[in-house]
Amino acid sequence: MAIRVLLIDDDPDFSLMLRTLLRGKDFQLRAVFDGEEGIQACKQEPPDVVICDLLMPNMDGWEVCRRIRQFSDVPIMILSALGAPASVARALDAGADDYLIKPVRASLLASRLRALVRRRALVEEPVSV
């Protein structure tokens, strides 16, 4: 079954590129282009994992993370050009589960997304011994 990914990024070209990179790797990508739309999409059709940029107009990715955390424990991957440790720490403190710096290899992104989804499944359905 395909992993449902919600991409929240204001760059339509990046969205198209990411869709192309993840094609054939068992991912179903839905892209939205601003934070408020992403929050609504997350509420209406909960994804398996969210990928969010930090630098967006109107509502930045840090605020998107905080707002999603108010109603969901969906794994959030930050994918940003910002690589400063303070940006990473701020994103993780806002509720992100992982952080990758653009540009990123498709294989690494796919592996990290699968790991986030796996980890969440283990929390939801603990393995009995």
Using DSSP, state whether 110 is helix, strand or coil. helix
Sign of the Cα pseudo-torsion (102, 108, 109, 115, in order): negative
| In 9-125, beta strands by DSSP E | 27-32, 49-52, 76-80, 98-101
Q: The pTM is what? A: 0.92
| Bond before 85 cis per omega within 30 degrees | no
Domain residue extents for the chain: 3-124
Fold assignment, 3-124: Rossmann fold (3.40.50)
pLDDT tens digits for range 32-76: 999 999 999 999 999 999 999 999 999 999 999 999 999 999 999
